[in-house]
Amino acid sequence: MQTRLTDLFPLNTPIVLAPMALASGGALAAACAEAGALGLVGGGYGDLAWTRAQYTLACELAASAENLARLGCGFITWKLDEEASALDWLLAQPHRPSAVMLSFGDPLPYAQRIKATGARLICQVQRLEQVPQALEAGADVLVAQGAEAGGHGMNALNGRATLSFVPELADWLAAHSPDTLLLAAGGIADGRGLAAARVLGADGALIGSRLWATQESLAPAGAKTQALATSGDGTARSSVFDILRRKNWPVPYDFRAIRNPLHQQWEGRLDELSQQPAAARSDYDAGVAAGDFTRAHATVGEAVGLVRDIPAAGELIQRITAEAADLLKKMGSSP
């Protein structure tokens, strides 16, 4: 499948691995690169030791120059405002990233440093009003993240649905910044989703939850098992797990994960949980230590209902790509 995205990096498929914190490690990023996709290591909160270990592993496993050109990293922007040593380290490496993705904050303070290395700047947005800031920073690629996505995103009051947000942003870019590429994110887990992203006007898709549920993902085995038994009805977006994990996320962002019994216990009691979190945090910590996902969290979005196996990432990417190409041909569209 050839698109502007596959020409830019270059890739064999218009799929980008979402840089999921603590899940998109070096093995998963390298496997995606080997399969012809763009593999973004999940730099997340900017932990230097973790980023260094996983990005180094990705480079070692990627091996060939072609695969190295398909590696990058992503960070939570507001955490870089507090500590940017992981980004500084990344940009100084011999195998500098092909792309750096920034999400949840102002990318401008970091954009010049990133682009000076030759890396492409990818900026994730959740609302149209955020787009001018990303373009001012020089974003080469925008990610339109719908509220269906797993992990962090816009809360229910402010979030947009992927199905309407992507075409609206595609039209806006066509009129105001036609050279800027667009990726769809949120709820995309198979070839139907990738084909839909193309039809909606995106150059490709950023895929998180479905690649989270692969053999190379660093997500715990128990969390993956729970995901297999969960339908799309079984996730919720709230700040419950952020409070339990001691993550001080700014408004208007919150967190989508499987709606397990501990989450359900605190739904509608967020003020109480915020004011007196100690007992609930102890319960959560014990769940994490025991691998008990009735208490520990599993970070997936609404697409979890389309997760029916835990394949190798390369096999999954080939499956999604082939299905999308076949669907687009049947509809009479070019892949």
Give the pLDDT of residue 329. 94
Domains of the chain from N-terminus onward: 4-219+308-330 (3.20.20.70), 221-290 (no CATH)
User: Tell me, what's the pLDDT at 71?
Assistant: 98
On the question of pLDDT at 335 being above 90, the answer is no
Q: What is the mean pLDDT of residues 225-253?
A: 97
pLDDT at 295: 97
Pairing of strands 15-17, 204-207: parallel
Taking the C-alpha atoms of residue 204 and residue 197, their distance in angstroms, rounded to an integer, is 7
> How much is the mean pLDDT over the chain?
97
- Mean predicted confidence (pLDDT) in 102-122: 97
Section 257-286 average pLDDT? 97
In a 3-state reduction of DSSP, which class is residue 193?
A: helix
Altogether, the residues listed in the chain come to a count of: 335
Task: For residue range 16-44, list pLDDT tens digits in order.
Answer: 999 999 999 999 999 999 999 999 999 99
Helix (H, G, I), strand (E, B) or coil at 152: strand
pLDDT band, residue 334 (cuts 50/70/90): low
pLDDT for the residue numbered 24: 98
Tokens representing 324 are 């999308």
Full-prediction pTM beyond 0.85?
A: yes
Res 55: pLDDT: 98
Q: Which pLDDT does position 32 carry in this prediction?
A: 98
pLDDT for res 118: 96
DSSP E strands: which ranges in 47-177?
71-76, 99-103, 120-125, 141-145, 151-154
Question: What type of residue is 293?
Answer: F
Tell me: the pLDDT tens digits for 37-78? 999 999 999 999 999 999 999 999 998 999 999 999 999 999
Q: Is the pLDDT of residue 170 over 90?
A: yes
Average pLDDT over residues 324-331: 95
183: β partners: 143, 204
**Listed residue (157, 117, 140, 109) closest to 16, CA to CA:** 140
pLDDT value for 63 = 84
Q: Please tell me the predicted confidence (pLDDT) of residue 137.
A: 98
Helix (H, G, I), strand (E, B) or coil at 198: helix
User: Which two three-digit tokens encode residue 67?
Assistant: 């695969």
Whether 263 has a pLDDT exceeding 80, the answer reads: yes
266-277 burial string, b = 16+ CB within 10 Å, else e?
beeeeeebeeee
pLDDT, position 107: 98
Looking at residue 332, its pLDDT comes to 85
Under 8 Å between Cβ of 299 and 42? no
Q: Which residue has the tokens 């190798």?
A: 312
* Geometric angle at alpha carbon 99, from 216 and 251, rounded to 5°: 85
**Percentage, residues of the chain above pLDDT 70:** 99
Sheet with 15-17: strands ordered across: 15-17, 204-207, 181-185, 141-145, 120-125, 99-103, 71-76, 39-44
Confidence of residue 14 (pLDDT cuts 50, 70, 90): very high
